[in-house]
Amino acid sequence: MALAGVATAGLVGGWFGPAAGGVVAVTGWWALRRWPVGSGGERRAAAADLPVAVDLLAAALRAGAPQARAAEVVGEAFGGPLGRRLVRVATALRLGARPVEAWAPLTDVPGVERVCRAAVRSADSGGAMAGALDRVAGDLRAIRAARAEAAAQRLGVLVVLPLGLCFLPAFLLTGVVPVVVAVLGDVLRSG
């Protein structure tokens, strides 16, 4: 990032060049720090796909597919981090692993705890899993919508701050300063 800052400073030139270079370097460093890398980025990507994947799992189970086949089909359809994990779940189920062990590859994905509990409960009791997955998918969508709304509200506040910082000095210079100068001028002349 320092190289990008130096290059920007050289391209812009003048007294503004170092300032622009500093902004580019700091912005680049900040953007790289927030870039999703490794398992953290994979977990976020898997969590983003989770509501749709749970809906598809429920649909496959409702259609009569066993858990292993449903997980395999949905995993292959999705691909990516969540799809790979679902395919591992399907393979473990097909090889005879206990449900707790089979669904373990998904445990680090945020929001998947209820899916794993429903799968284990369904295997233990023989009950249908599709209804529970429908409820879980609805809850996951509601949580995602609430987070998006909160982020939009935060963004609204953050967007107003620079605008206020620009208009406050202008208001002071055009509204307050002339009044203060006029009052001080009157006080000094009368005094």
Query: What are the tens digits of pLDDT across the range 2-11?
Result: 666 677 777 7
pLDDT band at residue 37 under the 50/70/90 scheme: very low
CA 72 to chain centre: 26
More confident residue, 125 or 37: 125
**What number is the average pLDDT over the span 175-182?**
91
DSSP 59: H
pTM higher than 0.75, yes or no? no
* Average pLDDT over every residue of 47-75: 89
Instruction: Please give the backbone phi and psi of residue 93, each rounded to the nearest 5 degrees, phi first.
Output: -65, -40
Cβ neighbours around 151 below 10 Å, total = 10
- Residue pair 46/82 in contact (Cβ under 8 Å)? The answer is yes
> Given the structure tokens 């998006």, which residue do they identify?
148
Angle between helices 130-171 and 113-125 (to 10 degrees): 170
Cα–Cα distance measured from residue 129 to residue 112, given in angstroms and rounded to the nearest whole number: 14
